[in-house]
Structure 1
Amino acid sequence: MQIALAPMEGLVDEILRDVLTRVGGIDWCVTEFIRVTERLLPAATYHKLAPELFDGAQTRAGTPMRVQFLGSDPQCLADNAAFACSLGAPVIDLNFGCPAKTVNKSRGGAVLLREPELLHTIVREVRRTVPTQIPVTAKMRLGFDDKSVALDCARALAEGGAEQIVVHARTKVEGYKPPAHWEWVARIKEVVSVPVLANGEIWTLEDWYRCRQISGVDDVMLGRGLVSRPGLARQIAAVRAGEQPGEMSWSELQPLLLDFWQQARRKLAPRYAPGRLKQWLAMLTRTYPEASALFAEIRREQDCERIDRLLGATTVKAGWAEAVL
C-alpha cells in the first residue's frame, strides 16, 4: 500500500512538502508541475521548483520526490524529462489532470484527456527517451467534459508505458466539487495492468475507508485533505500497520506551523511570506478551531515581525526551536 502527497500547484511547494512529510505516513511526494512548451528548460528552473534534487531527490524526512511535467509536445517533454533525470530525478510524472483554465487553453493538463492518442504518444516518447531504470508515471482525471473516454485515456497511458496511474476521480468540469466518483477508479483498475491510486475527497480516515471499499484500491494520493489534516497520512499508515490511528493535536502541529513560517520568511520576499502562511492556515481551519482563531488574528496582517510575535516565534523556547529546525 502506498500513500502519496499530491502535487498541488501554488500550494504544495518545497516548504510544505518538507513540513508535511516530517509528520509521517507519506511514502512519496511530487513537485508542482514544471510547464514545458517548446524548449529545454535550464537547470535553474528544476532547482527552483525541486530543490530536493540537491539532496538526493528527497525531503528532509527522507521521503522520495518525483518530478512532474505538464505540456503537450511529446518530444519536448521527453527531452526535458531526460534532462531532469540527469539532474537526479528518480521518477518522471506526467500531469494530465490540471483543471486550470490558463493551463488548459495552452493545451496542458486535463484538456488533453480529449485526445487519448496524444496521451499515448506523450507517454511513449517520454518512456523511450528517459533511462530505462527511471519509472514514468501519470496522473489523470476522468475526462474533460464527461467520463466517456476515461477508460480509453487510462489504457492509452498504460499502453504508452506509464508504470503507475493516479486517478483524480472527477472530470475537469467538475473541478473540486463533491463527490469524487471512486467507482470509476474501480472501472479503470479493471482495464489496465498497472497499479492505480485513488485521489479526490479523502479528508478523513472514514473517507479513506469508504474510498477503499468503493474503488477497490488500497493506494491513495492525498491533496487538500492532507494539507487540512496533516496527520491524515500517519493515521492511514497506522491502520496499515495494525496500530491505533490517533489524531494529530494542535499542540503537536504548532511547532511545524512555526517552522513553515520561518522557512517562508527565509525563502520568500516579505510581501509574499504572509500570504503563504495564511493560505495554509485557512485550510487548517477545516480541522482545527485554534487555526480559525489564529487566522482571524493575522488575516489582515502584512508585517512579518508582527506575525513573528503572534506566532510566538520570538519567545519560543530554545528546545522547541531546535526540535523543528
Structure 2
Amino acid sequence: MTMGHLGARVLLAPMEGLLDHTLRDMLTRVGGVDLCVSEFIRVTNTVLPRRAFIRVAPELLNNSRTVAGVPVRVQLLGSDPDYLAANAAALAELQPAGIDLNFGCPAKTVNQHRGGAVLLDEPELVGQIVAAVRRAVPAHIPVSAKMRLGFNDDSRAEDCALAIEAAGASDLVVHARTKAHGYRPPAYWDRIADLRQHVRLPMVANGEIWTLADALRCREVTGCDRLMIGRGMVADPGLALAITRHDALSDGSLTGEAVTWSHIVVLMRLFWQGISLRVAPRHRAGRLKQWLNYLRRVYPEAQEAFDQLRLLHDPAKIDQWLASQAVG
C-alpha cells in the first residue's frame, strides 16, 4: 500500500548531497518519520533507464520503503512537461510510494538549466508540469510537489500554489523561503498560513525546524499539522520521534532527548558500512564528517568525535576509530 498525504505527519526532506538513501535508512530506523522524499532526479530531454531511478532511490527494490518500512516518494526535477511525464510513467512502473516534483531547489547550476525554484516565476508552466505528470501516472500513485515561496520574491507564491492545486497534486510542501533567501533564517512561516487561505490542497510546512519547540511553533503559525524536516533531523535524529511522542501525550508536555549518543554511535557504524558499499574510498571520511558536523549542534560528544576525525582520511583508520567507540 502506498501512503498518501493523510497518514504522514512528519516527512523527511530531500537534501541533495547529504540525505541520500543511506542516511534515510539511519534516520528512519530511529522512528517518528512517516514518509521520505528522495533527492531529485534530473530530467532533461530523454527517458531515463530503470537503473537511474534505482541509483537515487534503491528503496524501489524494497517496495519503495526504507529498511524500517517507511515509504519513499521519488522526486523529479526538470522543466519540460512532456519529458517529465514520460519519466514519471517509467518511474511508475517501479511502483514508488509517490512521485514528487521539485520547484524549490535553489542551486545556481540547477536554476541556470531551468530547474527547481526558477520555475516559480512561471506559475503556468508549474501547473502544466504537475498536470502532465498526474495524467501520466496511475491514480493510486500520489503526485506531490515541493516549492519555495518564490525566486527573487514571494509575489507569485499564491499563483504557484493555486496552479499546483488545479493541476491535481495530492499535496504540497512549502519551504517558507524564496530562492533569494537561500537557507538563511528565519523561515517565513506566516506566508504558509497565507497560502492556506487560498488553497485547499493539503499542505506541509518546511523550513527552520530544528527542535520540538520549533515544530510546535511552526504548526501554530502555519496551521499545518504536517511538517517536513531536513537539516533538523540530520542534526537531531530523534526529532521526529520527539514530535510523535509529544503528539501522543495528553498533557502536551515537551519530551526530552529521544536518542542517546550511544544510539548515535550504533547508527554511525551502520552508516559507515552503508557508504563503504557505495561511496569511493576517498570520499567516505568526508561523508561521515558531514553528518558529524550537523550532529554537533545537539550532541557535545559529536564535537569531540569531529575533532578526533577531522584530519583522518584513510577509511581503515575510520574503521578503527568506530570500532573503538564504546556503546553503553
1:166-181 pair list within 5 angstroms: 166-181=173-188
- Tell me, yes or no, if the aligned pair for 1:234 and 1:245 is still in contact at 8 Å: no
Asked whether 1:259 is paired with 2:270, we answer yes
Pairing 1:157-306 to 2, within 5 Å after superposition: 157-242=164-249, 245-247=255-257, 248-306=259-317
Whichever residue aligns with residue 146 of structure 2, its letter is: K
Which of 126, 129, 142 aligns to 1:122? It is 129
Cα distance in 2, alignment partners of residues 4 and 152 from structure 1: 25
Query: 8 Å contact 1:46–1:84 — kept in the other structure?
Result: yes
State whether structure 2 residue 15 is matched by structure 1 residue 4.
Answer: no
Asked whether 1:153 is paired with 2:160, we answer: yes
SS at structure 1 position matched to 2:145: strand
Matched with 2:4 is: none
Pairwise mapping of residues 40-189 of structure 1 onto structure 2 (< 5 A)?
Answer: 40-189=47-196
Return 5+ residue gaps in structure 2 as ranges: 1-7
- Alignment partners' CA distance in 2, 1:67 and 1:252: 28
Looking at structure 1, the residues matched to 268 and 116 of structure 2 have their Cα atoms a distance apart, in angstroms, of: 31
Residue 323 of structure 1: aligned partner: none
Q: Cα offset for 1:259?
A: 0.9
Tell me, in whole angstroms, the C-alpha distance in 1 between the residues paired with 2:274 and 2:72.
19
Which of 32, 38, 44 aligns to 1:37? It is 44
Find the aligned partners of 2:201 and 2:227 in 1 and give their Cα distance. 14
Give, in angstroms, the shift of residue 299 of structure 1.
1.4
TM-score, normalised relative to structure 2? 0.94
Distance 2:15 2:118 in 1: 17
Number of corresponding residues: 317
Matched, 1:307 2:318: yes
Q: Are the aligned partners of 1:5 and 1:222 in contact in 2 as well (CA < 8 Å)?
A: yes
Give SS of 2:135's match.
helix
CA contact (8 A) 1:58 1:64 kept: yes
Cα deviation 1:106-125 (Å, max 9, x = unaligned): 00000000000000000010
Q: Is the 1:197–1:217 contact (alpha carbons within 8 Å) kept by the matching residues of 2?
A: yes
In 1, the alpha carbon distance for the partners of 2:237 and 2:61 equals: 25
AA partner of residue 256 (structure 2):
G
- Cα offsets for 1:228-273 (capped at 9, x unmatched): 0100000001111127633122122110111111111122121111
- For the pair 1:16 / 2:23, whether they are aligned, the reply is yes
* Long gaps (5+) in structure 1: 321-325
CA distance in 2, matches of 1:149, 1:310: 51
Measured in 2, the distance between the counterparts of 1:22 and 1:190 equals: 36
CA distance, structure 2, for counterparts of residue 222 and residue 73 of structure 1? 28
Distance in 2 between the 1:122 and 1:182 partners? 26
Q: What is the CA–CA distance in structure 1 between the aligned matches of 2:218 and 2:97, rounded to whole Å?
A: 29
Find the aligned partners of 1:259 and 1:246 in 2 and give their Cα distance. 25
The alpha carbon displacement at 1:90 in A equals 2.4
- 1:206-235: CA deviation from partner (whole Å, max 9, x where unpaired): 111111111111100001001001000000
Please provide the CA RMSD for this pair: 1.4
Identity %: 54
CA distance in 2, matches of 1:242, 1:79: 46
Once residues 97 and 203 of structure 2 are traced to their aligned partners in structure 1, the CA distance between those partners, rounded to angstroms, is 19
Q: Aligned partners of 1:134 and 1:263: how far apart in 2?
A: 29
Compute the TM-score of the two structures, normalised by the length of structure 1: 0.95
Following the alignment from structure 1 to structure 2, what is the Cα–Cα distance between the partners of residues 193 and 211? 19
